[in-house]
Amino acid sequence: MSLPPLLLVGCGRMGSAMLSGWREQGLAPSFAVDPAPAAGGWSGTDLTVVDDVAALPAGFAPAAVIFAVKPQNAAETLPAYQRFAGSAVFLSIMAGRTIAGIRSLLGAGAAIVRAMPNTPAAVRQGVTVACPGEGVSTSQRVLCERLLEAIGVVAWVEDEALLDPVTAVSGSGPAYVFLLAELMEQAAREQGIPADLARLLARQTVAGSGALLAASKEDASALRIAVTSPGGTTERALAVLMATDAWPQSLSKAIANATQRSKELAG
């Protein structure tokens, strides 16, 4: 069953990733609004890209309006979409923007779902946590789940406050993993491994370990222990990484700091 008509606001990295996933499911004739000249490249038989909301046909009635714009642009962007309140569900992937804050820009009658995806959505391996606002119907929630499942796994929470630590863990999380690969590659080169091989080893080790973790029913700790032979090389390395003042403390502090920043952005 194809998706109903949609209105995508923002064709940036995440918006375009979602659009690609929707097209794979089949998309009824839809519209996107994005003033960037490059956004026009997303036009096709199923999508018309316009540079301003005023250019939308008067009779266009999307089932969902998806906000994939920068959160700092919300105040100037969102009020123009008030006319769709009462008929469409608004799905926001703007980091830090609360349901209450979005509703203040769209009107009290707006049905809003707030979601936090992450960048692996570009390869349909993302994870998104969504929270429904007051007044979201069952059918609207089902539609939002379909839209988000097009880019990966979806989980729901009823407590919107959880989206701050979710942002810190999964929203920002790809950067932590990329940093790991970056540092592994650098360390490999320091040990004399040629640059091309160092990059291959670091990237494939991170990617392969992630695939193994995803396929396994074991806890991450059990998989770690399985690699760690007593008295071996892995044990020696982990003695450094698992020292109290190393990864356990720094990663916990990093996620706490990111959670706090998410709260500040919402305020």
Q: Tokens 């356990």 label which residue?
A: 248
State pLDDT tens for residues 32-89. 999 999 999 999 999 999 999 999 999 999 999 999 999 889 999 999 999 999 999 9
> How many CA atoms, within 13 angstroms, populate the side-chain half-sphere of residue 231?
0
Residue range 138-158: average pLDDT?
A: 97
| pLDDT at residue number 259 | 93
For residue 35, the SS3 value is: coil
pLDDT at 266 over 80: no
pLDDT at 267 over 70: no
| pLDDT at residue number 80 | 96
Residue range 161-186: average pLDDT?
A: 96
Domain ranges of the chain: 6-165, 171-266
Mean predicted lDDT score pLDDT of the chain: 95
Record the pTM: 0.91
The CATH number of 6-165, from 3.40.190.10, 3.40.50.2000, 3.40.50.720, 1.10.150.170, is 3.40.50.720
- Bridge partners (DSSP) listed for residue 129: 116, 155
CATH number of 171-266: 1.10.3730.10
Question: In degrees to the nearest 10, what's the CA dihedral of 216, 217, 219, 221?
Answer: -40
